[in-house]
Chains A and B, each alone.
Chain A
Amino acid sequence: MQAFIDIVTNAYYIQVITMMGVYLIAALGLNLITGVTGQFSFGHAAYMSIGAYTSALLTMNLHLPFLLSLLAGGLMAALFGIVLAVPSMRLTGDYLGITTLGFGEIVRVVFVNMEITGGARGLAGIPRHTDLTVVFILVVLFIWALYRINNSRFGRALAAVREDEIAAESMGINTFLYKVESFAIGTFLAGISGGLYAHLLQYINPADFGFAKSFDLLNFVVIGGLGSIPGTVLGTTVLSLAPEFLRFVKEYRMLIYGGLMVLMMIFRPHGILGGVDLGRLFRKIADRKKPPAALSGGS
Chain B
Amino acid sequence: MPPLLKMENISIVFGGLTAVESINFEMEKGRIVSLIGPNGAGKSTVFNIISGIYSPTSGSVYFMEKDITGDKAYKITGYGIARTFQNIRLFKNLTVADNVRIGCHTRSRAGFMGAVLRAGGVKGEERGITDRAGESLAVVGLADKREDLAKNLSYGDQRKLEIARALASSPELLLLDEPAAGMNAGEKQGLMEMIKAISNMGVTILLVEHDMKFVMGISDHIIVLDYGQIIASGTPEEVQNDPVVIEAYLGKEAD
Residues of chain A having any CB pair with chain B under 8 Å: 145, 148-149, 152-157, 159-160, 163-164, 166-175, 181, 185, 275, 280, 283-284, 287, 292, 294-299
B143, A154: Cβ atoms closer than 8 Å: no
Partner of A298 from the list B85, B114, B126, B165 (CB cut-off 8 Å) is B126
A185, B89: Cβ atoms closer than 8 Å: no
B95, A280: Cβ atoms closer than 8 Å: yes
A299, B112: Cβ atoms closer than 8 Å: no
B112, A185: Cβ atoms closer than 8 Å: yes
Q: Smallest CB-CB separation from A270: which chain B residue?
A: B93
B103 neighbours in A (Cβ, 8 Å):
171
CA distance A53 to B49 in the complex (A): 49
Q: Confirm or deny: B19 has a beta carbon within 8 angstroms of a beta carbon on chain A.
A: no
Tell me, rounded to whole Å, the shortest Cβ–Cβ distance linking A288 to chain B.
9
A275, B130: Cβ atoms closer than 8 Å: no
B85 neighbours in A (Cβ, 8 Å):
167, 170
A153, B89: Cβ atoms closer than 8 Å: no
B91, A160: Cβ atoms closer than 8 Å: yes
B77, A171: Cβ atoms closer than 8 Å: yes
CA distance A196 to B220 in the complex (A): 67
A-B CB proximity, top 3 nearest: A172-B106, A295-B134, A152-B115
Q: Confirm or deny: B183 has a beta carbon within 8 angstroms of a beta carbon on chain A.
A: no
A167 neighbours in B (Cβ, 8 Å):
85, 89-91
B137 neighbours in A (Cβ, 8 Å):
295
A299, B105: Cβ atoms closer than 8 Å: no
CA distance A295 to B77 in the complex (A): 24
Partner of A159 from the list B98, B115, B122 (CB cut-off 8 Å) is B98
Can you name 29 A-B pairs with beta carbons within 8 Å? A152-B110, A152-B122, A153-B111, A154-B111, A154-B115, A155-B115, A157-B102, A159-B98, A164-B92, A167-B85, A167-B89, A167-B91, A170-B52, A170-B77, A170-B85, A171-B102, A171-B103, A172-B77, A172-B105, A172-B106, A173-B74, A174-B72, A174-B74, A181-B112, A275-B93, A280-B95, A295-B138, A295-B143, A299-B126
Q: Could you list 18 further interchain pairs (A-B, Cβ under 8 angstroms) beyond the known A166-B53, A170-B83, A171-B102?
A: A148-B116, A153-B111, A153-B126, A155-B115, A160-B94, A160-B105, A164-B89, A164-B92, A167-B90, A169-B52, A169-B53, A170-B51, A170-B73, A171-B77, A171-B103, A173-B74, A296-B130, A297-B127
